[in-house]
Amino acid sequence: MAAERRFVAENVRRVLLKEYLMKEVSRAGFGGLDVKRTPMGTRVILTTERPGLVIGRKGQTIKNLTVAIEEQFGFENPQIEVQEVENANLNAQIMAEKLAFSLERGWHFRRAGHSQVRRIMEAGAKGCYIIIAGKLTGQRHRTEKFKDGNIKFCGEPKANFMDHGYAVAKLKMGVIGVTVQIMSKDAKLPADTTVLGRTEAAEKLPEIFAEDYVAPKAESVEAPAEVSTEIEGGQ
What are the structural domains of the chain?
2-85 (3.30.300.20), 89-183 (3.30.1140.32)
Residue pair 164/94 in contact by the 8 Å Cβ criterion = no
Give first-to-last CA distance, the chain, whole Å. Answer: 99
Residue 177's pLDDT band (cuts 50, 70, 90): very high
Residue pair 201/210 in contact by the 8 Å Cβ criterion = no
Residues with Cβ < 8 Å from 38, sequence gap 6 or more?
79
Give the Cα separation of 71 and 76 in Å (integer): 9
Q: Which pTM does this prediction carry?
A: 0.72
185 vs 114 pLDDT, higher one: 114
Q: Average of pLDDT values for 22-37? A: 85
86 vs 115 pLDDT, higher one: 115
Host H or E run for residue 103: helix 92-104
201 vs 17 pLDDT, higher one: 17
With a pLDDT cut of 90, the percent of the chain lying above it is 22
Q: Average of pLDDT values for 96-124? A: 92
**pLDDT attached to residue 110:** 92
143 vs 156 pLDDT, higher one: 143
Residue pair 64/105 in contact by the 8 Å Cβ criterion = no
Angle between helices 2-24 and 60-73 in degrees, nearest 10 = 150
Q: Would the pLDDT of 143 be above 60? A: yes
156 vs 63 pLDDT, higher one: 63
Q: Would the pLDDT of 235 be above 50? A: no
Q: Which of 10-19, 122-131, 208-217 has the highest mean pLDDT?
A: 122-131
Q: Would the pLDDT of 52 be above 70? A: yes
Q: Would the pLDDT of 16 be above 60? A: yes
**pLDDT attached to residue 227:** 52
Q: Average of pLDDT values for 154-183? A: 88
